[in-house]
Amino acid sequence: MVTEFTWLNEPRDWNVEDGVLTLTTEANTDFWQATFYGFRRHSGHARLQPVGGDFSASVVVRGDYRELYDQAGLLLIIDETHWLKTGIEFTDGLMHFSVVVTNGTSDWSVIPLPQAQSDAEVHIRVTRHDAAVRIQFHLGSGVWQMARLCPFSHCDAQIGAMACSPEREGFTACFEAFTLGPAIPRDLHSA
């Protein structure tokens, strides 16, 4: 449950109705640090709340993914050069489940989702245990698939809904059923 939040790069167009956050991105928004492309961007939109220790956070995301790099999901952030973002990213003509981990510089991993329709609901979960983060998703099946297990600082941070559109403005994303609570069990292979 969202108890308090702040905007990082608040978009002009957003609202919350019946527990659903809808936002429309501004032009050329992104989170990225240097790798491969050479640029640094910290202009993406994120509605964040504080988080400490071990936790699990989840959200259901929908978006009008149409242009290269349209993206929406969760952002876990310590500062401008230490964060991770995960969710759907539109690239090569289809939706991908994407994870970017940034520790000074950014990396990028994707899982193609050729079966996903552009209006698909994507369930995203981020769990921190000590200095590790597990990222999972599903497309409504209820069966969580692990996308990434990575190191991440155990210090206090912020987490919440994130959306960017590096190549345009006007990408609309909806976020619902955001939860933040105790970490799920550590067993990586439980059903």
**1 confidence band (pLDDT: 50, 70, 90):** very low
**Domain span at 132:** 6-181
Residue 37 forms part of a structural domain: yes
Q: Is residue 143 part of a domain?
A: yes
Q: What's the domain count of the chain?
A: 1
pLDDT in the model for residue 12:
97
Is residue 141 very low, low, confident or very high in pLDDT (cuts 50, 70, 90)? confident
| Residue 187 falls inside a structural domain | no
- Give the model's pLDDT for residue 3: 57
Mean pLDDT of 78-107: 96
Q: Give the residue among 111, 25, 26, 38 at the shortest CA–CA distance from 64.
A: 25
Domain membership of residue 31 (yes or no) is yes
Query: What's phi and psi for 92, nearest 5 deg?
Result: 55, 35
Asked if residue 141 is part of any domain, the answer here is yes
Q: Is the pLDDT of residue 181 over 50?
A: yes
Res 38: pLDDT: 80
Percent helix, strand and coil across the chain, each to the nearest 5: 0, 60, 40
pLDDT, mean over the chain: 94
119 domain-assigned:
yes
**pLDDT score recorded for residue 146:** 97
Q: Is residue 71 part of a domain?
A: yes
pLDDT digits (tens, 9 = 90+) for 34-77: 988 888 899 999 999 999 999 999 999 999 999 999 999 999 99
CA angle 62/187/153 to nearest 5° reads 70
For residue 23, the model assigns a pLDDT of 98
Question: In the prediction, which pLDDT does 2 show?
Answer: 46
CB atoms closer than 10 angstroms to residue 93: 7
pLDDT at 21: 97
CATH no. for residue 32?
Answer: 2.60.120.200
- 12 is a domain residue: yes
Predicted TM-score (pTM) of this structure: 0.95
Long-range (24+ apart) CB contacts under 8 A made by 77-85 are 77/8, 77/46, 77/48, 77/157, 77/158, 77/159, 78/153, 78/155, 78/156, 78/157, 80/33, 80/42, 81/33, 82/153, 83/31, 84/126, 84/133, 84/135, 84/150, 84/152, 85/31, 85/44, 85/162
